[in-house]
Structure 1
Amino acid sequence: MRRLLVLALLLTACGQTTPAAAPVEQKAITVQNCGRTLTFDQPPAKVVTGYQPSLETLLALGLQDKIVGRTAFEENGPDGFLPGQKAFYDAIPQISETIMLPQKEVMLAQGADFVIDNGQSSFDPAGGYATVDELQTAGAPVFVLGNWCSPEETLKSTVEQTFIDLRNLGIVFGVQDRAEKLIADLQAQLADVEKRVAGRPKVKVLATDGGTGPVTAYGGAGLMNQMIAKAGGENVLAATQADYSEFSVEQVAAANPEALLVIDYVVYDGKAAPTADKKAADVLGVAKNSPAATEKRVLPIPAAAAHPGYRNILAIVEMAKFLHPDAFV
């Protein structure tokens, strides 16, 4: 009798319908960028990248399969790519013949759901480009690296913004673990540099893009100034509240640099650019009595490294090795 009762209870239980679990509401993905809240229902899957540092940053996060279009990157020639990234670059469709995003009609036709770049130039309607608002309306939120959201914000840019960008991109694409691992690696490299150059005399540095008068160089505001300091250098134009700007012959000669960082690219606006050697010779001719001229102490820096992105930290390591070689023996 007891067995029959148990069996009856089991059969009754099996006949009952288990209530369906309530659907779990998917939380929207949100991050802050340039004072805007970017919202996504799911990670982007059709990404367009602008100037090369934006592509490099996504590739460093392993997001190459998400990128459906990129701009051209010929400014540093075939040797201008970070290790292992050239093959990914070649596999992604090129949608612009320059480092800028394509014109408005072409850009909107991409059907992108995410656009990433290094500043506002490619969103200027005066240049025929789709604006940030137009892309947002088309379902393609814009993410600007380095907080280069305006000329004023560009002056305030710091190296630490790289980590903020990587963390936010990790959230957007659902690869937080990958992003945190990359951040930890880059922070470890910076900490190693800081430890090695600590206590050593700072090397007086002029970072320049050439010229014989005026001379194009980097002042005491912005990303390059931060990078020089992280590498154990002292920007000789730090007293000027400028970033990439023009300086007089008198200012450059009086700066008396001990070392020169030269922004290097082989193509600009489709035309051959002066070589790093030519630009260095011009600037050292202006600062002809400086220790940098006497010792011909020059390091070319790829132009991409002077813009926000993953490459910034790698460039700081190279700059530190150049300025303080004995610290890396």
Structure 2
Amino acid sequence: MLKVNFLPRISAMARIVAAAGLLVTGACVPVVPVATASQPAESMPTEVEITHYSGTDMAPVNPETVVVADMAALLSLQDLGVEGIAGMLGLAVPVPDQYAAALDNPDFAELGSVWEPDYEAINALEPDLIIVAGRSSRIYPDMKEIAPTVDLTIWEDFYNKFQEQHRNMGMIFGVEDRVEERLAELDALVQDVSARTEGAGKALILMTTGAEVTAYGPGSRFGFVHDTFGYAAADENLEREATHGDAVSFEYILEMQPDVLFVIDRASAIGAEGEAAAKILDNELVAQTPAWQNGRVVYVDSFAWYIAWTSLPAFFQVVEDIEAGLQ
């Protein structure tokens, strides 16, 4: 497991409705018409208008020097074959081997952290574009003073926004076809799993941090379990805006009688000390739930869910974890 500096967050098809002209939503609008074979290269758009989490901004097309302040965004860009990432803002956390390749670049500039950006170093790079998201959303105003900046944070209406923000990436970096290909592959899996969750029982999403246990429901950070995949919720009344969930007891978990538990081990995801989630939940109260008794407790890929779930590679893993709850 590699330990590097980056900003942790805080994861057939999206049925392609028509031809290429319909693939791009209103989130991305070319400033000039796209060139045809008969048009000179000079008529190709040099900027696109991007509507994102923090507003609407003009972004350069095919930027050559890019600063990224979010691990999930970096993973997606790498997945899409985008080059030109010059540096990242960071925070030390362990990165599992399957995601570490995206960070294997000795030329990445050291740019400080999201909490203490090295503005001098960022300016020295003269970036054409800065990408923020998640925790780095807070520095969007500062980054915008340096270079064109887009905020690719994804939160409510998760699955639609997930697709929209990746199409934003496609427009900016000229990889629209690759984006549609990957979204189609992902949506095939999403639709397959979603078709099998009806009648699969009530799900409860738990996160452990040391000895503390919190829960999430529909509309929350991990609400896609219900909102996108269609699992019935063991509790419809959990706080939707709580970043780290609602604190709950083992008695609560027993009372909810979940048929399936999805468990995120936050300490593992961020490289902190603390008891493993499997040990915390191994008690006589949780053992009385249908989920425990029927072997439907899914200890998910905590890095994918807690750190990088808004990236393409990590959300493929999320789908796999959610499917495991059906077995």
TM-score of the aligned structures, taking structure 1 as reference length = 0.71
Match in the other structure for 1:128: none
Is residue 2:169 matched to residue 1:169?
A: yes
Structure 1 partner of 2:12: none
Counterpart-to-counterpart distance in 1, 2:257 and 2:285: 10
Q: Give the aligned length.
A: 280
- Matched residue type, 2:79: A
Matching residue of 1:8: none
> Is the alpha carbon distance of 1:169 and 1:101 closer, same or farther for their aligned partners in structure 2, counting shifts above 3 Å?
farther
State the Cα deviation string for residues 207-251 of structure 1 (Å, max 9, x = none).
111269863121322341123454452232332242532233253
Match of 1:160 in 2: 160
Is 2:157 aligned against 1:145?
A: no
Q: How far off is 1:187 after superposition?
A: 1.8
1:33 Cα offset (Å): 0.6
* Cα distance between partner residues in 2 of 1:157 and 1:186: 17
Structure-2 residue corresponding to 1:13: none
Q: Give distance in 1, aligned partners of 2:115 and 2:73.
A: 12
TM-score (norm 2): 0.71
Judged with a 3 Å threshold, the aligned counterparts in structure 2 of structure 1 residues 212 and 180 are, in CA distance, closer, same or farther, namely closer
Q: How does 1:113-152 map to 2 (within 5 A)?
A: 113-119=128-134, 121-124=135-138, 131-146=139-154
The equivalent of 2:86 in structure 1 is 68
Distance 1:184 1:312, change over 3 A: same
Partners of 2:122 and 2:252 in 1: how far apart? 42
Aligned 8 A contact 2:305 2:318 in 1: no
Return the structure number with greater strand share: 2
**Which stretches in structure 2 are left out of the alignment for 5+ residues?**
1-39
Inter-partner Cα distance in structure 2 for 1:267 and 1:211: 9
Per the alignment, in what secondary structure is the counterpart of residue 238 of structure 1? Answer: coil
Structure number having the greater helix percentage:
1
1:74–1:267 Cα contact (<8 Å) kept: no
Offset, 1:138: 0.7
Which moved further from structure 2: 51-60 or 221-230? 221-230
For 1:260, the equivalent position in structure 2 comes to 261
Closer/same/farther in 2, CA of residues 97 and 256 from structure 1, 3 Å limit: farther
Q: Identify the residue that residue 103 of structure 1 maps to in structure 2.
A: 117
Unaligned runs of 5+ in 1: 1-20, 125-130, 147-153
1:314 aligned to 307, 313, 316, which one?
A: 316
Select 1:48's aligned residue among 67, 70, 73: 67
Amino acid at match of 1:78: P
Mapping 1:1-329, distance limit 5 Å: 24=43, 26=45, 28-63=47-82, 65-71=83-89, 75=93, 77-79=95-97, 81-82=98-99, 86-91=100-105, 93=108, 95=110, 100=114, 102-105=116-119, 106-119=121-134, 121-124=135-138, 131-146=139-154, 154=155, 156-195=156-195, 197=196, 200-210=198-208, 215-242=213-240, 243=242, 244-249=244-249, 250-264=251-265, 271-281=272-282, 287-301=286-300, 302-306=302-306, 307-311=309-313, 313-325=315-327
Q: Cα 1:75–1:254, aligned 2, differ >3 Å: closer, same or farther?
A: farther
Q: Is contact 2:68-2:85 (8 Å) kept? A: yes
Give the deviation of 1:279 after TM superposition.
4.0
Shift of residue 185, structure 1, vs aligned partner: 1.7
Question: What is the distance in 2 between the residues matched to 1:267 and 1:73?
Answer: 15
Greater RCO, CA 8 A, separation 6+: 2
Larger Rg: 1
Q: Do the aligned partners of residues 296 and 212 (structure 1) sit closer, same or farther apart at CA in structure 2, a change above 3 Å counting?
A: farther
CA contact (8 A) 2:70 2:136 kept: no
**How big is the shift at 1:32?**
0.6
RMSD after superposition: 3.3
State the secondary structure of the residue aligned to 1:134. Answer: helix
Give the % identical residues: 21
- Per-residue deviation, 1:39: 0.8
Q: CA-to-partner distance for each residue in 1:35-65, whole Å, 9 max, x for gaps?
A: 52221343222222233212111112111x2
User: CA–CA distance in 1 between the matches of 2:72 and 2:137?
Assistant: 17
